[in-house]
Amino acid sequence: MSFGILSAAASGLVIATAQALVLHGSAGKLVWAWIPATMLGGVLAVMVTNALSVPLIDAISGSGLPMAGLIGLLTAVGALVASTCQSPVIVRLLR
């Protein structure tokens, strides 16, 4: 699990840095707060989806429902967690 957390943090760093560089001209220096928010969101998304995946796999495998639904559910939960971490920064950028 620690490798997944490290890779999520590294990808968040790369993606957020690219986004911050693009938005720096129009958003100012506050855009640099986007980097740690994106990294934290990615890490928390990995942690939450990993914690939820085992009980949900057990529940779905016993019920006969398709695993595609589980993948979609975990993706939606991870995206919600990541965007929740980024929302305070984006609210300040949009003001």
pLDDT of residue 1: 57
Region 61-88: what's the mean pLDDT?
87
| Cβ atoms 85, 12 nearer than 8 A | no
d(CA 31, CA 63): 46
pLDDT of 77 reads 93
What single-letter DSSP state applies at residue 95?
-
d(Cα 54, Cα 91) in Å, to the nearest integer?
Answer: 34
pLDDT of residue 58: 85
Q: What is the pTM of this model?
A: 0.80
Read off the pLDDT of each residue in 39-50 and give the average, rounded to a whole number.
91
Range with the lowest mean pLDDT among 6-15, 38-47, 57-66? 57-66
pLDDT (0 to 100) of residue 14:
92
Amino acid at 5: I
